[in-house]
Structure 1
Amino acid sequence: MVILHVKRGDKSIFLYETQLNTLVRDIIANIIVIYNGRLKVERICSEMESLALHGTMLPPNMIGLTDEQIEELKLVDEWGDRCIPSGGFIFNKDIYGRRNGKQPLTNMQELIKKTIADAKALIASKELIAKNECLTQKQIQQAISLLKGCCTIIYPMKLPPHDVIRMEFDNIEDLSGTHASLEVIEPQLAQLWFSGKEMDPDQKLSTYLGRNDKCKVIVKLQKKSEGAPSREAVISEESRKELMLLAYKKQEEWKKLEQNDDDDYLNSPWADNNQMKRSFQGIRGNISWKP
């Protein structure tokens, strides 16, 4: 099996396991599903943190309005009255005007926090890469199922249809005009680069890696419009820091040498004219013969 260390720019994303006889096109398709799935989990986790603080989302026509404007326009959050968290709620106003302020009780908040932590652990980049563990579509689905199950426990009647969390679960999210839309990569626009060259989707992986089916290589995920990615650094970040530290120590040593007097060497033992005489007499150190 071949391990692909997938990077986006200089950032490590995850490890992906595949075979040499697999088409690059199929590899790209699977990597994109995992990559976009990770982004979905992160978006849901972010919104569920807001859910734990301020309850469900307001209808689109009420978002961003002040209480006075809502009252003047006679707008009503009908879904807010239907979707009450299990056990009741505490009112905690959302200063951004996105959610209705019906915060779940403390025990439900703790459930949300724990579920978010468990979901993030399933897709954690640094931890999985450090353990040399590959990320799979199954883990992405497990993370989404955990988050969905948590919401079902707290809101058995389901979240409002306009809540972005429910829209994410139903795969009907609208990311247009958001920063998240820039992160998502459409499958038809995805490219894989290896060793500074774009990998041809119609070629097999063995075209680039040869017959070594037990290797681990770095590949970079790009959009077609982004061009070639930056090359990998010749040395690692840790090695670079060690070299910089060594250079700094050398520089400090040279500074100290420059500050010394030119005749400072005369105080050294090897510059003593009487050293040889004393060595023949068996005398060590400076001895005064005067009383």
Structure 2
Amino acid sequence: MKVNQSVQYITSTDYGMQGNNIYITKEQSGSGIKNTKGEFLFEPFYNIESFHGYFILNPNLNSKKDDFIIINKNGKIIYKEKNTSKKQVFPINDEIFAIRYQKNNNSYVANNYGYSEIKNIKTGKVTERVFSSVLPEVNGLIKAYRYNEKEGAGKWGFLDENFKTAIGFIYTNKPGDLYDNRILVKSKDRKYGFIDKRGRLIIEAKFLEAKHFVNGYAMVKLHKKKYSKESKKYNYGYRVIDVNGRIIRDLEDAVPATFHSLKSINAIENEGVVRIKINQKKGFL
């Protein structure tokens, strides 16, 4: 195998290819963005944060430019501004951004940023500045956290891309994202279930563990470990369900293999393949 290039520094935050054939490289002068040909798309004069498939580039002291830049996973610039010292900008999608402003002019005060507004830079449409947290849009929905006056506490909910409330801000525990028209939610008694994109409960919150749907299937845990005298094996409670909550497969004495390279992953692969572990041996169903 031919090695096209070398990287000077590898840290615990380096997870390989973060974009489509582009990645963060760390040099003595700072961080930059390279492609698989070894070419710099952005010279190593930045402090770079990988954010849900996007790259946020802040110029460092070695940079001759003061441009704050956000690029998508293809390396395309989607946001550029000369000076953002008074605010923080995070991508929601290629046109929508969450913008959080400083409370006062002292940038050295800890937690000096207030609530965020959400803005479409193409249309100029903007929300009120009321969100504590805003996450990138997934399949048309924007997950956000805001104070709910009726509940007297902060709650999670969803907006559509026109900033209308798609699912009310009623969730204490952070919901999952929309996959196969199902969103993973966690009840107050810490059980998992699924709602649809209108917020209707589709699959009862009765599972001890659950992952989001992949191609129409989800991994759930129905009960704790049980021993069967008939089979003389343990059943660990893991099941594969369809989008209607019907059990498709009982994993019996197998458990899902959900950790890989220090990351938690979904045990269900494409084409209905399930990554499992039996007696410390990993394989596929």
- Larger fraction in helix: 1
Larger Rg: 1
Question: What TM-score comes out, normalization by structure 2 length?
Answer: 0.24
Higher RCO (CA < 8 A, seq sep 6+): 1
